[in-house]
Each structure stands twice: as structure tokens, then as C-alpha cells.
């Protein structure tokens, strides 16, 4: 694994180019084109309430549009927010099968507040303690056409860019999608 680890300059990093991300206009684009980058920037410049409100509004819109589409296509089905919403419904003895019409809207909003709060806590932690790469949860990218497309670690990458880091340290960069997919399957087995 060590042969794939590199520090990557932001000028070659691109957001993942999955279908839903392309539809939204940030797929395959520089990190600062991702709306979440703007929320981190607002937060950093002191507009914390506005950043939180806009992030939550954006997240609800994205979940409404993409909760039924798999993560492999850039959707949110079975992603971290989806699983939290599912868990919160279950903890209150309410069935959640992904159908938003039968979901409890207050639970969805609660889950979104929790996830947004967690993301800003991550930013606060990096601001106070610096960025410490996590060996078990690395930022992952794949080389394509002279760029590195993120496959994991989007939030940490956007936070580092917002905080003015010159590079993203310790990124696992696979030379192509095929090797990335093989290694992803191996990691699931181990």
C-alpha cells in the first residue's frame, strides 16, 4: 500500500466524477466547486450560522433528490446520512425503507443537523490540532487524465483546501480505476 501514498497538490485534485455529481455540476471539478467547500469557507470566515443553515438546506435537497440512488452512482442510498436516518427511525420503532413519503421529516432534519455538526467538528479539530492522516480511513484518489479524482476523503480534502494547506498529505493514489476497484474489494474481505 505504501507505494501508492503521496502528497497531492490541490491543482490536480478533482471531486469524484460519478453520475449524480456531474448532474449537480461539481463532479470532476476542482474541490472548491463543491458546494460543501463554500460552507467550510463561510464557517472559517465567521459566518457559522449561515454556513450551517446553507449546508443543512443543501444536504436536505441532495438527500431528497438522491436518497434512492446508490452511492456507486453518486447517490445517497446506504451512505452515512441514509444509514443514520435509518438507525434513528428504527430506534423510534418507525419503519424506514428509503421511501421519503413515509419517512419522518423531523428525523431526517435531526440526522442532517447531526451530520453537519459532525463535519464542522472535524473542521474545528483540524484547525486546532492540525491534520493527522488516519491509517484506517485514508483519503483515496485515482489518477485519470493528469488529475487525481477523489474516491474517499472529500470532506477532509475540502477542509484542508479551506484552511490553506498547500497539499493533501498521505493520499492513496491508484494509477487507474481497475486497480482501485480490486483493492476496494480486497479491503472488504480483510
What pLDDT tens digit does each residue of the chain (190 aa) get? Answer: 678 999 999 999 999 999 999 999 999 999 999 999 999 999 999 999 999 999 999 999 999 999 999 999 999 999 999 999 999 999 999 999 888 999 999 999 999 999 999 999 999 999 999 999 887 788 999 999 999 999 999 999 999 999 999 999 999 999 988 888 888 888 777 6
pTM of structure: 0.92
Give the pLDDT confidence score for residue 90 in this predicted structure.
95
For 7, 13, 150, 154, 158, the CA distances from 167, given in Å and listed in that order, are 6, 10, 14, 14, 11
Domain ranges for the chain, please list them. 2-189
Grid coordinates of 111:
440526522
Give the pLDDT confidence score for residue 1 in this predicted structure.
61
CA distance 116 to 59: 9
Give the pLDDT confidence score for residue 136 in this predicted structure.
79
Give the pLDDT confidence score for residue 190 in this predicted structure.
63
Give the pLDDT confidence score for residue 184 in this predicted structure.
83
| Burial class of 31 by CB neighbour count within 10 A (0 to 12, 13 to 18, 19+) | buried
Give the pLDDT confidence score for residue 114 in this predicted structure.
98
**Pick from 135, 190, 127, 139: nearest CA to 164:** 127
Give the pLDDT confidence score for residue 178 in this predicted structure.
85
Alpha helices in the chain (DSSP H): 19-24, 35-44, 48-66, 80-91, 105-129, 154-162, 177-189
Amino acid at each position: 500500500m505504501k507505494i501508492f501514498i503521496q502528497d497531492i497538490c490541490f491543482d490536480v485534485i478533482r471531486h469524484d466524477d460519478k453520475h449524480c455529481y456531474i448532474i449537480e455540476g461539481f463532479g470532476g471539478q476542482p474541490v472548491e466547486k463543491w458546494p460543501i467547500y463554500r460552507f467550510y469557507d463561510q464557517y472559517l470566515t465567521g459566518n457559522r450560522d449561515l454556513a450551517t443553515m446553507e449546508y443543512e438546506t443543501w444536504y436536505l435537497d441532495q438527500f431528497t433528490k438522491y436518497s434512492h440512488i446508490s452511492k456507486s452512482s453518486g447517490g445517497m442510498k446506504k451512505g452515512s446520512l441514509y444509514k443514520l436516518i435509518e438507525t434513528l427511525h428504527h430506534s423510534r420503532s418507525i419503519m424506514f425503507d428509503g421511501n421519503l413519503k413515509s419517512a419522518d421529516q423531523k428525523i431526517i432534519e435531526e440526522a442532517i443537523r447531526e451530520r453537519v455538526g459532525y463535519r464542522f467538528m472535524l473542521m474545528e479539530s483540524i484547525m486546532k490540532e492540525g491534520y493527522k492522516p488516519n491509517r484506517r480511513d485514508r483519503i483515496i484518489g485515482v489518477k485519470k487524465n493528469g488529475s487525481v479524482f477523489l474516491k474517499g476523503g472529500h470532506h477532509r480534502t475540502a477542509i484542508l483546501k479551506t484552511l490553506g494547506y498547500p497539499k493533501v498529505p498521505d493520499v492513496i493514489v491508484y494509477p487507474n480505476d481497475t486497480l482501485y476497484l480490486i483493492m476496494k474489494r480486497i479491503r472488504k474481505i480483510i
